[in-house]
């Protein structure tokens, strides 16, 4: 029986061009099997026309069939689309066709997944990624261990199509030194921009090594394939993904960049920022309070146990004298027969020594209620008068006379 070779498909969708890359390996860590690109027609100039979605789905289906025919097994598919509206159309179309194994990845996360792979190959601990789009540039620091974004800054480009673009990007990269980042190098990724022309300016602005993809136009397709293949391990933050839709600028606190797994396209919401499992900060706050609730319940349980121990110790102090006397009570049970022997010979029952211990055993529980242990030794002296007290049951004797 012939064994199939695992392959991963990555798709990058631009307004007018679709690029596909097939990478060998279950984790997309092998050689490139095939890559292709084709133009998509947009009716009326609409970049999110239904025809473009149909062409992409047809390309994905054809790749699956070709993989089986060539002895390969398509294990995962990642798709990234620069237009969020087009991503929504693609999601609906895949849901109708039952293509649940396809993962939709934002361009920023596709670039971060590729940066993580490059950093791992270069033996980096952290790698800075500069993601350049036509109107914005995002500088992020990626943890190579798990792919999470630990620092992020986005800036609106003043002159995106002019010479000052290189100067703006160089200023952003130079800021890595002032902020004291832990990055070991810089990875440059572009989307709709020429990054080859700006690389020399970046190399002059930072002492860190600056690298770029060998094929810049296929970078996002490769990143989408990597993100889909490593979905259980690759993680990023919802706050970072929000920058893919939010044109605002500014820095993000690393505390808000907690790692979360990417969501499969079939389960993603239409308004999901990064197609992440967390929709907004409201879902994060309750999770932060749960440990406090659990800690409070644990303390309450400990307090209950301590209270039970204290009550048990107090109870053992009072009946403690009775507890060791329980065996004596069993031995003292013959003392109940003393009243029966009293009518026969009361004076003879008192002199014998064996008769005196039973009343002492009975008298022992009497000092326990006063809670004074000192009178206990004095009680053995008073057992003779105590005998008449127990002779009170002898009153039935007059009843027998009549």
Q: What is the pLDDT of residues 2-20, one digit of tens each?
A: 678 899 999 998 878 889 9
Give the pLDDT score at 55.
81
Strand partners, 140: 129, 152
Q: What is the pLDDT of residues 33-51, one digit of tens each?
A: 888 888 876 544 454 456 7
Give the pLDDT score at 100.
64
DSSP 285-340: HHHHHHHHHHHHHHHHHHHHHHHHHHHHHHHHHSTTTHHHHHHHHHHHGGGGGHHH
* Closest of 134, 174, 173 to residue 157, by C-alpha: 134
Name, in order, each residue with C-beta under 8 angstroms of 377's C-beta and a sequence gap of 6 or more: none
Q: Given a cut of 60, is residue 143 above it in pLDDT?
A: yes
Give the pLDDT score at 17.
86
Give the pLDDT score at 44.
44
Inter-CA distances, 270 with 82, 85, 87, 91, Å: 15, 9, 9, 8
Q: What is the DSSP letter of 2?
A: P
Point out the least confidently predicted range of 138-152, 175-189, 199-213, 263-277: 263-277
Q: Given a cut of 60, is residue 276 above it in pLDDT?
A: no
Q: Given a cut of 70, is residue 190 above it in pLDDT?
A: yes
Q: Given a cut of 50, is residue 356 above it in pLDDT?
A: no
Kindly report the pTM of this predicted structure: 0.60
What would you report as the CA-atom Rg of the chain, rounded to the nearest whole angstrom?
42
Helix (H, G, I), strand (E, B) or coil at 382: coil
CB 210 within 8 A of CB 196: no
CB 131 within 8 A of CB 187: no
Residue 167: pLDDT band with limits 50, 70, 90? confident
Q: Given a cut of 80, is residue 116 above it in pLDDT?
A: yes
Residue 21 parent element (H or E) = strand 17-24
Q: Which residue has the higher pLDDT, 93 or 208?
A: 208
Residue 205 parent element (H or E) = helix 199-205
The mean pLDDT value for 312-320 works out to: 43
What whole-number distance in Å separates Cα of residue 281 and Cα of residue 272? 13
* Closest of 200, 150, 141 to residue 175, by C-alpha: 141
What whole-number distance in Å separates Cα of residue 195 and Cα of residue 158? 17
The first and second tokens of residue 336, run together, are: 């109940």
Q: What is the pLDDT of residues 379-402, one digit of tens each?
A: 444 544 444 444 444 444 445 444
Give the pLDDT score at 21.
93
Give how far the C-alpha of residue 363 lies from the chain's centroid of Cα atoms, to the nearest Å: 67
Mean pLDDT of the chain: 67
Inter-CA distances, 285 with 148, 209, 211, 269, 288, Å: 20, 39, 38, 20, 5
CB 198 within 8 A of CB 160: no
Q: Which residue has the higher pLDDT, 188 or 34?
A: 188
What whole-number distance in Å separates Cα of residue 138 and Cα of residue 156? 9
The first and second tokens of residue 146, run together, are: 């798990």
DSSP 53-77: HHHHHHHHHHHHHHHHHTTEEEEEE
What whole-number distance in Å separates Cα of residue 87 and Cα of residue 110? 14
Point out the least confidently predicted range of 166-175, 182-191, 258-267, 310-319: 258-267
The mean pLDDT value for 240-262 works out to: 38
Class of CATH domain 5-245:
alpha beta
The first and second tokens of residue 176, run together, are: 């890595």
The first and second tokens of residue 192, run together, are: 């709709």
The mean pLDDT value for 352-364 works out to: 46
Residue 179: pLDDT band with limits 50, 70, 90? low
Report for 45-49, 253-257, 278-282: range of highest mean pLDDT? 45-49
């Amino acid at each position: 029986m012939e064994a199939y070779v695992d392959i991963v498909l990555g798709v990058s969708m631009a307004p007018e061009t679709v690029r596909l890359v097939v990478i060998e390996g279950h984790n997309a860590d092998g050689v490139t099997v095939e890559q292709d690109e084709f133009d998509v027609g947009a009716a009326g100039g609409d970049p999110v026309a239904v025809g473009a979605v149909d062409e992409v789905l047809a390309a994905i289906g054809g790749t699956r069939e070709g993989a089986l025919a060539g002895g390969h097994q398509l294990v995962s598919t990642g798709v990234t689309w620069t237009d969020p509206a087009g991503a929504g159309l693609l999601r609906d179309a895949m849901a109708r066709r039952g293509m649940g194994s396809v993962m939709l990845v934002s361009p920023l996360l596709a670039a971060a997944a590729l940066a993580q792979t490059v950093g791992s190959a270069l033996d980096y601990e952290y790698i800075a990624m500069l993601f350049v789009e036509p109107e914005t540039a995002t500088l992020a620091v990626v943890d190579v261990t798990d792919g999470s974004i630990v620092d992020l800054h986005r800036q609106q480009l003043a002159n995106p199509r002019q010479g000052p673009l290189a100067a703006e990007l160089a200023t952003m990269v130079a800021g890595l030194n002032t902020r004291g980042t832990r990055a070991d190098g810089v990875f440059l990724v572009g989307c709709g921009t020429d990054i080859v022309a700006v690389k020399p300016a970046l190399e002059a602005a930072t002492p860190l090594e600056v690298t770029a993809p060998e094929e810049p136009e296929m970078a996002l397709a490769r990143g989408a394939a990597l993100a889909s293949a490593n979905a259980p391990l690759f993680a990023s933050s919802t706050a970072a993904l929000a920058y893919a839709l939010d044109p605002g600028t500014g820095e993000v606190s690393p505390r808000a960049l907690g790692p979360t797994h990417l969501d499969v396209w079939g389960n993603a919401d239409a308004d999901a920022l990064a197609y992440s499992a967390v929709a907004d900060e409201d879902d994060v706050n309750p999770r932060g309070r749960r440990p406090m609730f659990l800690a409070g319940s644990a303390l309450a349980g400990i307090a209950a146990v301590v209270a039970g121990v204290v009550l048990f110790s107090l109870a053992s102090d009072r009946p403690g004298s009775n507890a060791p006397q329980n065996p004596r009570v069993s031995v003292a049970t013959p003392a109940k027969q003393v009243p029966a022997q009293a009518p026969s010979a009361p004076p003879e029952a008192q002199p014998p020594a064996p008769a005196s211990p039973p009343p002492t055993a009975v008298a022992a529980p009497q000092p326990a209620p006063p809670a004074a242990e000192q009178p206990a030794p004095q009680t053995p002296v008073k057992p003779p008068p105590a005998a008449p007290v127990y002779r009170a049951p002898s009153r039935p004797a007059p009843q027998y006379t009549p």
